[in-house]
Amino acid sequence: MLNAAVIGLGWWGQTIVRMLEGSPKIRLIRVMTRSRAGTELAEARALAISTEYRDVLRDPAVEAVILCTPHSTHLDLVREAAHARKHVFCEKPLALTRRDAEAAIAACNAAGVTLGIGHERRFEPAILELRRRVERGELGTLLQLEATFSQDKFLALDPGNWRFSSIEAPAGPLTGTGIHLLDLAISFLGPMERLFASVKHLSGHMANGDTLAILAVFKSGAQALFGASLATPFDGRFALYGREGWADMRDLSHPEAPSGMTLTLCHKGGRRECLDFAPSASVRANLEAFADAATGKSPYPMSQQEMLWNIAALEAVSQSAASGRVEAVES
């Protein structure tokens, strides 16, 4: 068991607390929160409560921290945790620039602690099955990717919420939903070379934009089309097209409350397979993979190189959305 503390009990921090109940690999023993809702949630579960990060890091019983805080705080919090020799699970994105991502990774490596990232979509059963099919060569050389991840959960938030800040969340849906698509694309296609991004304000009060579109070219030569919105009911789609066939994965609901997904594969000649997948706790699976890595049982299934490629792509999307030009992705 890995003894951990959740830092920040907003919407997602509270979700993680609930999802880890009964985990055989992570035991939550402390939280850091200053909100009434977070305090009530922690008290109901008999978790120790701190209002200051330094108090969490001073607790010798805490072996790892799970960061659920605004994006611009991640680098400093990761550094402090690494200095205190605590393993770090950081909600996505790891950072807002490649330079900061490099610094966060370097701090963890220097301290010899494990770094995990909140990209739970890698752990969804349909994605795992698709990866097995791709690795067996069933789709052949991958040519193009199309992906969408949209939701309207943020419409209920106060307009002053940090998630609508162009500093904390540049290019609107990028850090909330689009970053998951970038990560999945990189996990299948490798690093990006260049991209063009456009963000629009179409729903009203989201000052940093609510609708995002991206066209990307990868170093492999493959291309990708991404769509992300914060103003429409949930939709999740991930499709790969190759020389030998294609695959289309559809989510039935948001990962916060999963209800399953479908995967359609079309092979050369037109033969199709349609697979249904039961709901799975992918968020918990990611955290438990982090716990396995922190306790030395198995490597964390996301390389640090991929972490850097992902943040390099995020930075290029932010730059392109602001400049209106095609931007290179530093890889």
Structure tokens at 11: 């919407």
Domain stops at, among 59, 94, 120: 120
Q: Do residues 110 and 173 share a domain?
A: no
Residue type, 176: G
Look at the pTM and tell me if it is higher than 0.85.
Answer: yes
Q: Do residues 89 and 68 share a domain?
A: yes
Domain stops at, among 90, 120, 150: 120
The pLDDT value given to residue 202:
83
142-150 vs 115-117, strand pairing mode? unpaired
Q: What is the pLDDT of residues 118-145, one digit of tens each?
A: 999 999 999 999 999 999 999 999 999 9
Q: Do residues 114 and 167 share a domain?
A: no
Q: Domain of 140: which CATH number?
A: 3.30.360.10
Domain count, the chain: 2
Q: Which domain holds residue 72?
A: 2-120
Domain stops at, among 120, 149, 169: 120
Crossing angle of helices 98-111 and 74-83, in 10° steps, is 10
Confidence of residue 155 (pLDDT cuts 50, 70, 90): confident
pLDDT, averaged across the chain: 95
Confidence of residue 159 (pLDDT cuts 50, 70, 90): confident
CA gyration radius, the chain: 19
High-pLDDT (> 70) share of the chain, % = 100
pLDDT higher than threshold 90 for residue 39: yes
Whether residue 124 contacts residue 221, with contact meaning beta carbons closer than 8 Å, is answered with no
Q: Domain of 72: which CATH number?
A: 3.40.50.720
Q: Do residues 92 and 186 share a domain?
A: no
Q: Do residues 238 and 90 share a domain?
A: no
The pLDDT value given to residue 201:
86
What is the C-alpha separation between 172 and 137, in angstroms, rounded? Answer: 36
Q: Do residues 133 and 237 share a domain?
A: yes
Q: Do residues 131 and 258 share a domain?
A: yes
Q: Do residues 140 and 14 share a domain?
A: no
Q: Do residues 72 and 126 share a domain?
A: no
Q: Do residues 147 and 8 share a domain?
A: no
Q: What is the pLDDT of residues 236-259, one digit of tens each?
A: 999 999 999 999 999 988 877 888
Q: What is the pLDDT of residues 187-199, one digit of tens each?
A: 999 999 999 999 9
Whether residue 236 contacts residue 217, with contact meaning beta carbons closer than 8 Å, is answered with no
